[in-house]
Amino acid sequence: MISIIEFIGHISYIIFAFGTGFRNIIYLRTSLIIASVLQIFYTVYSANEIFKTPIIWSIVIIVINLFQVAYILYYKRFMNLSHDEKEVLNMIGGSLDIINFKKLMNAGIWTTYRENHKLIVENETTEKLFYLVDGDVEVTIKDKQIAIINKGNFLGEMSFLSGELPSASVSTINTAKILSWDKSKLKNLMEKNDGFKHEIYSIFSNDLIVKIINQNKQSILRTVIN
């Protein structure tokens, strides 16, 4: 009969062998950790002298795989997006790292507004930055419509970036689903993470370019109609 120590040695190799067949990366790395722990136990108690090399490398394998499992679990936690969050991610595109995107979503508040609700008032302080997830809004200056903005756009980002009062009013045309952020909280979040800040600025730049193009198209259309 084999001894308990020999049995542990065989089990460790069996786990190594079968563990490499797991498609699930969590299971694979966990099996490597367990097998390495058993290998250390077997090496220590099966020999008359301690062989440092296999023990050291088993510890290295354990540490590497523990780190990888922790990272994967942490990353997967951020991948659990709601339907609305996935919709926003699709509209924003690939400008944001998934972890930074989830931080942005966690900092926001979801609200549905009825038509004719004023989100931003010209020359008045607003404490919020908005993102239009669904619906349409109109932009007016001195009660004159200058643009219509559709879903997938930020509202009030120029005021957010410059710190100045908004130069135009923004009101809902129909029922609108909107994600909003407290400006001061969002700025604090950006200051704590340079990568996050640069990604947000990149999104704002793309958003402004799209708005300028659409506004020019609307101006040309009005000229043709008139």
Give, to the nearest 10 degrees, the angle between helix 183-192 and helix 98-107: 150
Q: Are 38 and 62 in contact (CB under 8 A)?
A: no
* Among 64, 79, 94, residue at a domain's last position: 79
Q: Which residues contact 16 (CB under 8 A, 6 or more apart)?
A: 31, 32, 35
Taking the C-alpha atoms of residue 72 and residue 67, their distance in angstroms, rounded to an integer, is 9
pLDDT at position 213: 67
Taking the C-alpha atoms of residue 177 and residue 225, their distance in angstroms, rounded to an integer, is 31
Which CATH number fits the domain that encloses residue 218? 2.60.120.10
Specify whether 109 is located in the same domain as 34. Answer: no
Specify whether 128 is located in the same domain as 57. Answer: no
* pLDDT tens readout for residues 80-95: 788 888 888 888 865 6
Question: Could you count the other beta carbons within 10 Å of the beta carbon of residue 168?
Answer: 20
Three-state DSSP at 197 gives helix
Specify whether 18 is located in the same domain as 105. Answer: no
Specify whether 72 is located in the same domain as 154. Answer: no
Q: What percent of the chain has a predicted confidence (pLDDT) above 70? A: 87
Q: Are 142 and 161 in contact (CB under 8 A)?
A: no
Q: Which of 7-16, 17-26, 43-52, 152-161 bottoms out in mean pLDDT, i.e. has the lowest? A: 43-52
Specify whether 216 is located in the same domain as 120. Answer: yes
Specify whether 58 is located in the same domain as 103. Answer: no
Taking the C-alpha atoms of residue 179 and residue 119, their distance in angstroms, rounded to an integer, is 12
What domain count does the chain have? 2
Winning range, highest mean pLDDT, from 9-18, 65-74, 132-141: 132-141
Specify whether 59 is located in the same domain as 103. Answer: no
Q: Are 155 and 161 in contact (CB under 8 A)?
A: no
| Torsion sign over Cα 141, 142, 148, 152 | positive
Specify whether 14 is located in the same domain as 38. Answer: yes
Winning range, highest mean pLDDT, from 12-21, 22-31, 73-82, 123-132: 123-132
Specify whether 69 is located in the same domain as 90. Answer: no
Specify whether 149 is located in the same domain as 172. Answer: yes
More confident residue, 90 or 109: 109
Give, to the nearest 10 degrees, the angle between helix 52-79 and helix 25-46: 160
| Domain enclosing residue 187, as ranges | 83-225
pLDDT at 174 over 50: yes
Specify whether 110 is located in the same domain as 65. Answer: no
* Among 57, 79, 101, residue at a domain's last position: 79
* Among 79, 112, 137, residue at a domain's last position: 79
Specify whether 122 is located in the same domain as 204. Answer: yes
